[in-house]
Amino acid sequence: MELLVATRNAGKLKEIRRLLGDLGIEVKGLDAFPELPEVEEDGDTFAANAIKKAETVAALTGLATLADDSGLEVAELGGQPGVRSARYAGEQATDADNNRKLLAALAGVPAERRQGAFRCAMALARPGQESRVFHGRVEGIMLDAARGDGGFGYDPLFLVREYGKTMAELPLDVKNRISHRGQALRQVVEFLRGE
């Protein structure tokens, strides 16, 4: 089976390929389709954005397509950055820009009020079929300084209490096992195995 993952994010592709490797599924990223346009993530929920991306790309390529939208929600910030996680500091923001803005927004907030959660909605779309959506969530604490050099996005600021490490400090196999994306993707795997 061939599965197109609607992302150009190398970090996401690496995680997904590793988790789907045992199923004999050939995973392709959008880098294999440079002519495809970017799909604007203008939904107000992670699920709405994931469905839009998956269905748009599946319709354009004719391939089964998996798309996710995921991000960080910080309770003290009213759920921000939320669906704007990748664009929190602006449309062309880098991970470092977003992390700086988050640290500034949380400046002076005590550790006991720095709860955060990574959330993921993952949509599987096939041309002519109803899309399926799978969800994952992992809770943690937002640090006041980055730790670790693995992962991407907000991983260096997100402390997973049970491990005493940030997502950026965890080995990839551990991160994949506990992450929001890993949780959603395991549900996708179970769904595909059951077909």
Is 173 annotated as catalytic? no
Q: Which of 42, 44, 69, 149 is catalytic?
A: 69
The full 3-state SS of the chain, as one line of letters, equals CEEEECCCCHHHHHHHHHHHHHHCCEEEEHHHCCCCCCCCCCCCCHHHHHHHHHHHHHHHHCCCEEEEEEEEEEHHHCCCEHHHHHHCCCCCCCHHHHHHHHHHHCCCCCHHHCEEEEEEEEEEECCCCCCEEEEEEEEEEECCCCCCCCCCCCHHHEEECCCCEECCCCCHHHHHHHCHHHHHHHHHHHHHHCC
Residues assigned a catalytic role: 69
